[in-house]
Structures are given as structure tokens and as C-alpha cells.
Amino acid sequence: MKKIQKKWLSNIILGYLLLNPIFDVLTSFSIHFLSKSMPVVLIIKVLFILFLLFLNWQQKEKKSFYYSIGLFFYFLCFFFLIYQKHGISSFFLEAQSLFRTFYFPCIFLFLYPLQKKGILEIKISNLCYILFFYLFFLVVPEFFHLGFSSYTEGKIGGLGWYYSTNEISGILAILGPFLVPYLKNKNYFLKILFIVFYMSGIFIIGTKVPILAFMITIFFFFVSFLWELWKKKAWKKLLLSISSSMIAFGCFIVILLSSSFYQNIKIHLEFLQIHQVSDLMTFHNIDHFVFSERLSFFQNTLTLYKNSSTCEKILGMGNVEYGKTNPRKMIEMDYFDLFFSYGIIGTILFFAPFFLISIKRKFLLEEKISIFLIVLLAFFSGHILIAPSVSILVALIFLPKKEMI
């Protein structure tokens, strides 16, 4: 009976995880055609969190219980502060933002004991299936010219049936490293299918994140492979691998120069009137070209934070852009958005599950590469740790896999 119950629960959780690309497509359609997000999807995500919390309570997981109590009291204090400053009108928007932000630590902490006790089994193949579904709804609509544009004007790129360029770019970036070990022993048809879909996906979007992440991923795997050949003193294979990689890299550069990514780089440089490297070396140009004005948003928010009250520094200034009463735009650099929005206590609560659980475990090479990309992208492009569509995948990546428990 226990085995049947475990299998049933595992199927529900895995089914929910595999349905996330569908949820994102539905949300995208709702925003594009109805100009608002779909509340049903938000309700499903809330119910899933409550379902996991119930399972943890059933399994008598004290860490999850104490963490939930701590979050509850923090939320009460936070909403009291927001009520005093902005009144009741902002409650719903702040509640949405709060849920989106703390989705990652809750999912991670609630899934961990279920994984450890064998109720849930997260495998590399699960991550690759999720990646394939995301690629399917990105590449196929673009192939039939039915997708949405990545940009409203000027630049070139497609999003398939998704809405957020940053989020889909982040998903392709952090799940990419798991393709290498997954495809290693698969048949040629599956290898070609995945490779064509993945390469098409990272070039279709037209942004730098998935392409740079792909290059970083290949570099780390290639260096690891060469190191193994060096240790085995397989000199012929080593030279052949280096020669083959140089040819492959040359082909990649040719494709890159004809891609929408390269065209967008040229458009951006022309817009900023950058004609040589020295022209780039100004705060304004670096801010616009590398950080998409995030440094300017950071300066503005830092000034507001310095002038905020002690309670706001401790509990946070909130995550909603209040227009004239609070002319603050989100920085889109996760660490800073988290700290300024939810203060010292909120930041500690956000990262507590990670430091309590993950800091001691060993990681596979593909996990290390993915985590490196997560840390990097959370700083440079955002929408990694505090966007539920991406952060749930971050939680799965940090979870110990079946063979490591």
C-alpha cells in the first residue's frame, strides 16, 4: 500500500512539473490576448505549494514546519508595514509578488524531504523532458510563423508561445548542461532531435543569455573531457578532439554571424553610436549594452533604500512599482531586487533553506555548470531566483538526485 501511495504521489508531483511549460503558454496567451495573467494558473501554483506543505506535515518534517511559521510571521509584519505606507489598495499586487519571490525556497524545502524519503525521484531525464516541452512550444510556433516577437521594435527575435524573453532564456540556459549526460547513450535520432531543437531555440530568441550559456557549458564539458584524456595519456584522441573542436567552433561562429543574435548586437551598437571598443568604456554605454540600464535602476533604488525607514530596511520596501508615490523600477538583478524589496529578514529567510541543505552535498559536473549559470544569470539578467517558472527548475537542480541520496 505504501509503495502504491508513493508512486501515486510521485506521479502527481512529476506531472505538475512537466505541466509547467503548458502553464507558461496559457499565461502568455492570457497576457497577449486579454492583457492580464491567468488567475487559474496562479491558484494551481498556490494549491501545489499547500499540497507539498500538507505532505511535509504528514511526514512530520519539523524544518518545513518551523520555516513555514517563520515565513508566516514575516509576511504578517511585511503586510502591516505595506498597509501603513500604501494602504489596502496594494495588498493583492504585493501578495502576488511575495508569492512569486518566495516560491523558490518553499518549493525547494518542501520537495527535499519527499526526495530524500523516496516519495519523489528527480532524475536528469525529468529535467530534459521539461526542457524539450519548453523547446517544442518555442521552436514549432516559430517554424510556422505563429509565435510572438521577443522585441516590440527594432531588434529581431521570436518567443514561440511564451511571454517573457528573460524567463525562457534563463530556462534554456540552466537546463542546457543536463542535455550532455542525458544524450550520451541515446540513439542518433534522439540526439539529433534534441540538438536541432536546442540549437534552434537558443538562436530563435535573439538574446545573448542562452547563447553565452551554451558556450560556457560546452567549454566546461570540453575542458573536463580533455582533462580525462590527459590523465589517461591518450595523446592521439586528445589532438583529434582539439582539432575537431576547432572546426566545430569555426562552424558555430559562421552560424552566429548570420543569426538574429548578431544582428541585434549590431543594432544595439549602432543605437549607442559605438564604433570601436574604446567607445564602450563609459558608464552609460556599459549600463545600456551589458546591463540593459540595470545599473541606473540600481542607483535609483539604492537612493530610495537609504532614505527609507528602519522598518523598511529590515522588512523591505515592497515589490510593486508605485509610480509617482514611489518612482522605483525593478532592477532585474535578483539579489538586489530581493534585498531592497524584502529587506534583511526577507533575504535571510529566502536563502536559509539553501544554506541549511545544499551547502554540504556533492554535485555532479552538469549540476555544477548549471549552478554556476544560475548564480551568474541571477546577477546579470535576473528572472532566475524570483520568477516561479524558472525558480522551480532551480529548486530541482539543487535537489540531490536519486543516485546521490
16 pLDDT band, cuts 50/70/90, is very high
Instruction: Quote the percentage of the chain above a pLDDT of 70.
Output: 93
pLDDT at 152: 62
The predicted model gives 299-319 an average pLDDT of 89
Report the predicted TM-score, pTM, of the whole model to 2 decimal places: 0.91
Looking up cell 502553464 gives 23
The predicted model gives 218-230 an average pLDDT of 89
pLDDT per position as a tens digit, 359-396: 677 888 999 999 999 999 999 888 999 999 999 999 99
First to last CA, the chain: 23
The most confident of the ranges 131-140, 156-165, 228-237 is 131-140
pLDDT per position as a tens digit, 79-133: 999 888 877 877 888 888 899 999 999 999 999 888 888 788 888 889 999 999 9
232 pLDDT band, cuts 50/70/90, is confident
Q: How many CB atoms lie within 10 A of CB 214?
A: 22
Judged by DSSP in three states, 149 sits in strand
Residue 52: pLDDT over 50? yes
Residue 398 CA to residue 90 CA, distance in Å, equals: 33
pLDDT at 372: 94
Residue 74 CA to residue 220 CA, distance in Å, equals: 41
Residue 105 CA to residue 47 CA, distance in Å, equals: 16
Residue 30: pLDDT over 50? yes
In the chain, the number of structural domains is 1
4 pLDDT band, cuts 50/70/90, is low
Please tell me the least confidently modeled range out of 16-20, 123-127, 150-154, 191-195.
150-154
Q: What range defines the domain where residue 136 resides? A: 2-404
Q: How many CB atoms lie within 10 A of CB 101?
A: 23
pLDDT at 101: 93
Judged by DSSP in three states, 147 sits in coil
Residue 402: pLDDT over 70? no
pLDDT at 319: 80
Question: What does pLDDT average to over the chain?
Answer: 86
